[in-house]
Amino acid sequence: MNIAGRLAVGFGLVLGLGVLTTGFSIWRMHDIALAAQAIAAPLAKERLIAEWNMQVFGAIRRTGAIVKSNDPGVAAYFKGEMDEAIKRSADLARQIEPLLTTPDETALLRRIDAQRQRYRAITAAAMKAKAAGDTALAERLLNESFVPTARGYQDLLEALLALQHRQMDAQNHDILAIEARSARLSMALTAAGVLAGAACAWLLAAGIVRPLRAAVGIARTVAAGDLTQAIAVHGRDETAALLRALRDMNDSLAAIVGRVRDGTETIATASREISAGNLDLSSRTEQQASALEETAASMEELTSTVQRNAGHAQEANQLSHAASKVAGEGGAVVGQVIATMADIDASARKIAEITAVIDGIAFQTNILALNAAVEAARAGEQGRGFAVVAGEVRNLAQRAAAAAREIKDLIGTSTAQVETGTRLVGQAGATMDQVVASIGRVNAIVNDIAAASREQSSGIGQVSQAVTQLDAVTQQNAALVEQSAAAAAAMQEQAARLAQAVQVFRIGAPIAAPSGTVRRIA
């Protein structure tokens, strides 16, 4: 039974006993009221009989005074009172007669009535003798007949009055007996109610306080961090529900603490591994940033070299145009061949120097492109685009070197021809045609070199921009790695604190089969 049912039964029992006690008290009070009503009639009769007796007593004294007095005025003085007493006595007799219900009262009233008639007759005879002036007869009637009759009359009234007193005493005795029985039964019912209330209170307290004490003990044990206790619950009332809830809470806390411990260990291990990986990654990122800085410096040098190569190619282009113009005019002005041969020889030598410079630039460009390819290979996936650009730069450098060699060969041929030109003036026309054709080819080659130099400059600019972007990305990666390392360290510290916080709990054996002292709560 739940607590509400127990309280309802306990208080219902106490209230039932209280209602029973109240009902019994009302019933006994009703009996006492009936007894009091029963004593009212004897009281009324006793009052009327006492008044009747007083009227008779006054009449007797007045009759004696009249008979014994020699003053005629006494009779006249008491006559009105005597008549009023006779009338009042008759009225009282009539009032008393219907109130008398017992045979003893009725028989005694008949005797009183007969004695009253004798009393009135003797009184009338004595008063008549006194009125006639026969004082001796009046006194003889007074002493011999009136006094015994009057005394008998009063004795009968006093007997009737005593009978009323006895009846009132009996009624009073009954009232006292009812009161005594009522008091005893009321005390018995009150004592039973007190005992029943005490028993119910003790049973309710025992059924509520004992589980509550056990619940407080469980809560204190859990608050102390001991989750190893096992709680056995019996019953279906509210305290049993509370203990079941505490048992579920204890088991849930034990499971949560176990999972938290496992989680903290996992977090600590993972944070240590992350921290170590971040340190390794930070070191590699720093190495990569240093390599990118070196690559950026190399690309700046390569850019400067390519720009100079482009300038030289532009100059060579201008010279080739001038040589072509000169060669075209040489066909028309053969006579000036000898004079211009020296100029051609000087130009050829200068072109040889320029081609040597172009060849050197191409060689250096090839070396820088090779270095850039190597650095791109080291950069891995991020340097793939850079490797493609470096390959294109290397191809352009190889083409420039090939063109420079061709120019060098042509310049060598031109120089040989110029040296023999003096001896072969006669063959100048045919040679000039060859020279014009050769200069045309040189012009085309120089144009190719200039275009290749512009492409090299553009490609190297893109490579430089890519290297700059890689350097920025690498710097950002380094910052992120440092932040990740700091976060991993903070996470490791928090995992250590969390592990320290849950160390206060003792969970003992697995939750499915907990070990510890079993509390049995009825």
Whether 307 and 189 share a structural domain: no
Whether 326 and 466 share a structural domain: yes
451 occurs within a structural domain:
yes
Decide if pLDDT at 517 tops 50. no
CATH number of the domain within which 161 lies: 1.20.120.1730
- Residue 178's domain spans which residues? 3-211
Decide if pLDDT at 358 tops 70. yes
Residue 495 has a CB neighbour count (10 Å cut-off) of 20
- Average pLDDT of span 316-330: 72
120 occurs within a structural domain:
yes
Say which range, 231-240, 311-320, 350-359, 384-393, has the weakest mean pLDDT. Answer: 311-320
- Average pLDDT of span 406-411: 80
pTM of the model: 0.31
Q: Is the model more confident about 489 or about 161?
A: 161
Of 187, 211, 235, the last residue of a domain is: 211
Decide if pLDDT at 374 tops 60. yes
170 occurs within a structural domain:
yes
Of 157, 186, 211, the last residue of a domain is: 211
Decide if pLDDT at 514 tops 60. no
Q: What is the pLDDT of residues 10-32, one digit of tens each?
A: 778 778 877 887 887 787 677 66
DSSP labels for 223-282? HTTB---EEEE--SSHHHHHHHHHHHHHHHHHHHHHHHHHHHHHHHHHHHHHHHHHHHHH
CATH number of the domain within which 443 lies: 1.10.287
- Average pLDDT of span 138-162: 88
- Average pLDDT of span 313-335: 71
Return d(Cα 49, Cα 153) in angstroms, integer. Answer: 12
155 pLDDT band, cuts 50/70/90, is: very high
Question: Given this model, what pLDDT does residue 463 score?
Answer: 66
92 occurs within a structural domain:
yes
Residue 233 DSSP SS3: strand
Question: Given this model, what pLDDT does residue 313 score?
Answer: 64
Q: What is the pLDDT of residues 164-176, one digit of tens each?
A: 888 888 878 878 8
345 occurs within a structural domain:
yes
Residue 53 has a CB neighbour count (10 Å cut-off) of 19
Decide if pLDDT at 506 tops 80. no
29 occurs within a structural domain:
yes
Q: What is the pLDDT of residues 83-93, one digit of tens each?
A: 787 788 888 88
Return d(Cα 435, Cα 324) in angstroms, integer. Answer: 9
Q: Is the model more confident about 8 or about 146?
A: 146
Return d(Cα 92, Cα 113) in angstroms, integer. Answer: 12
Of 150, 185, 211, the last residue of a domain is: 211
Say which range, 248-257, 298-307, 376-385, has the weakest mean pLDDT. Answer: 298-307
Q: Provide the mean pLDDT of the chain.
A: 78
Say which range, 122-131, 244-253, 305-314, 344-353, has the weakest mean pLDDT. Answer: 305-314
40 occurs within a structural domain:
yes
- Average pLDDT of span 360-369: 84
- The structure tokens listed for 420 are 């023999």
Decide if pLDDT at 518 tops 50. no
Whether 412 and 302 share a structural domain: yes
Whether 42 and 148 share a structural domain: yes
Number of domains comprising the chain: 2
Say which range, 180-189, 190-199, 268-277, 292-301, has the weakest mean pLDDT. Answer: 292-301
C-alpha distances out from residue 388 to 224, 370, 461, Å: 69, 11, 14
Whether 324 and 457 share a structural domain: yes
Whether 165 and 310 share a structural domain: no
Whether 10 and 142 share a structural domain: yes
Question: Given this model, what pLDDT does residue 422 score?
Answer: 65
- Average pLDDT of span 105-109: 85
Return d(Cα 291, Cα 410) in angstroms, integer. Answer: 42
Q: What is the pLDDT of residues 234-275, one digit of tens each?
A: 777 777 788 788 888 878 887 887 887 788 888 878 878 887
Q: What is the pLDDT of residues 190-201, one digit of tens each?
A: 888 788 888 878
235 occurs within a structural domain:
no
How deeply is 306 buried, as exposed, middle or buried, from its count of CB atoms within 10 A (0-12, 13-18, 19+)? Answer: buried
Residue 234 DSSP SS3: coil
